Amino acid sequence: MPEIYVDADACTVKAEVVRVGERHGLTMHFVTNQWMRLDDSPLVKRVIVPEGPDAADDWIADAITARDICITNDIPLASRCLEKGAQVLGQSGKPFDGAGIGMALAMRDLNRHLRETGEIRGGGRAVSQKDRSAFLSALENMVQAARRCR
């Protein structure tokens, strides 16, 4: 049975993950470096890692397997999970895959450079209701595919 690993520090779709995970009876690991309020479900596991750069990412990358699903917007973490054969879904409902991860990493580096030089400002846009619906649909499809194939 697949498990879901959530890079929870900046995750805006926690409730949607719980909704799908509970529907399918899947264990969900919410990984963060601080305590956070989550649904009281026996399927929800809080994993609190020490403070530090990439501690949550490292925990997820070490624990995830090829049958699992990772929820993250962190492109380097997505790449690490894909290398292990896991499925990866961004919070907007867009899956990461092997074919596009190289370009995503390159764009991340370019945008970081442009922010550092002042060419662009600000972060990403807020998650809309349309994004939440797309996320729910994509996660549902991903879970069903994982259950069929693995």
Q: What is the pTM of this model?
A: 0.84
Give me the phi and psi of 120, to 5 degrees please: -130, 160
Q: Which domain holds residue 82?
A: 4-149
> Which string of b and e fits 37-71 if b means at least 16 CB within 10 Å?
ebeeeebbbebebeeeeebbbebbbeebeeebbbb
CA distance 34 to 127: 22
Number of structural domains (the chain) is 1
Task: Write out the chain's pLDDT in tens, 150 residues.
Answer: 999 999 998 899 999 999 999 999 999 999 999 888 888 899 999 999 998 888 999 999 999 999 999 999 888 999 999 999 999 999 889 898 866 665 655 655 565 666 677 777 766 667 788 888 999 999 999 999 888 875
- Domain CATH number, residue 69: 3.40.50
Question: How large is the C-alpha radius of gyration of the chain?
Answer: 15
